[in-house]
Amino acid sequence: MSYNLLKGKRGIIFGALNEQSIAWKVAERAVEEGAKITLSNTPIAVRMGTVNALAEQLNSEVIAADATSVEDLENVFKRSMEVLGGKIDFVLHSIGMSPNVRKRRTYDDLDYNMLGTTLDISAVSFHKMIQSAKKLDAINENGSILALSYIAAQRTFFGYNDMADAKALLESIARSFGYIYGREKNVRINTISQSPTITTAGQGVKGMDKLYDFANRMSPLGNASADECADYCIVMFSDLTKKVTMQNLYHDGGFSNIGMSLRAMTTYEKGISDEYKDENGKIIYG
């Protein structure tokens, strides 16, 4: 159902790759809510993915760009303003990649060149994006800029590796730039800490399927889906949240405030082997 929350607004969605992508879902919902948008991803992603099909579906233009290139990002904003007919009202940063994760490097054996790449693609690109937009005066007053994060930015999650560092930096950029852009142009900048979501990027994290199941059992409302995340993004792009900025907003079914749930404890107990039980079958807690 559409509520026309974004009627007359213009937006840019970075990172839509395929139908699994949260960015893909956000793009569909934004247009459904009355917005006009452009789409952007890397040249290779545009060639290898199905974003052109999404663009055709939404009557949108795809602007290929390397998100680590200031020149490319400036072109995205300039071309978007030209195509959409004015300044931009909302932007989504849904970009992340770690060569260390892909190469199965552990956190105590990182390749530092790869770490630099992880940070540049997954976090510094957000700063470059915002800085480019600000210098071009490309965002309307009361505009909204969002990036997708994860709770590993603030808690330790085995296997998330240097992406945790990248997400922590991403959230810091939202706070620091949120102050500056808010003070000068009333532009909001926030991050959304989403539940584990089965996407192409997420599948690169070792044990993602187990993490997804664990989080779902822990969360009183269960994991938030990509479609539900898209709904949340739409609200954050809308005029209903004009005074929300510099925040990391948890969208995780309550996972971030749970220590242990009954469902998770029950599953844990079933998995305890006999060596951790006494002669009466009761668990010996360490």
Task: Give the residue numbers of the binding site for NAD(+).
Answer: 15, 21-22, 95, 167
Q: Measure the CA–CA gap between 173 and 202, rounded to whole angstroms.
A: 22
For residue 146, give the nearest of 74, 236, 75, 67 by alpha carbon: 236
Q: Which is catalytic among the residues 107, 112, 150, 181?
A: 150
285: annotated active-site residue: no
Q: Which is catalytic among the residues 3, 112, 160, 250?
A: 160
Q: Helix, strand or coil for residue 38? A: strand
- Amino acid at site 57: Q
Query: Which pair of tokens denotes residue 146?
Result: 């969002």
Positive or negative, the CA dihedral 82, 137, 68, 35 is negative
DSSP state at residue 72: H
For residue 18, give the nearest of 235, 234, 207, 226 by alpha carbon: 226
Q: Name the binding residues.
A: 15, 21-22, 95, 167
Q: What does the chain come to in residues? A: 286
Distances (CA, A) of 253 to 163, 219, 224: 22, 5, 6
- Amino acid at site 74: E
150: annotated active-site residue: yes
Q: Where are the beta strands (DSSP E) in 67-138?
A: 88-93
Catalytically active residues, by annotation: 150, 160
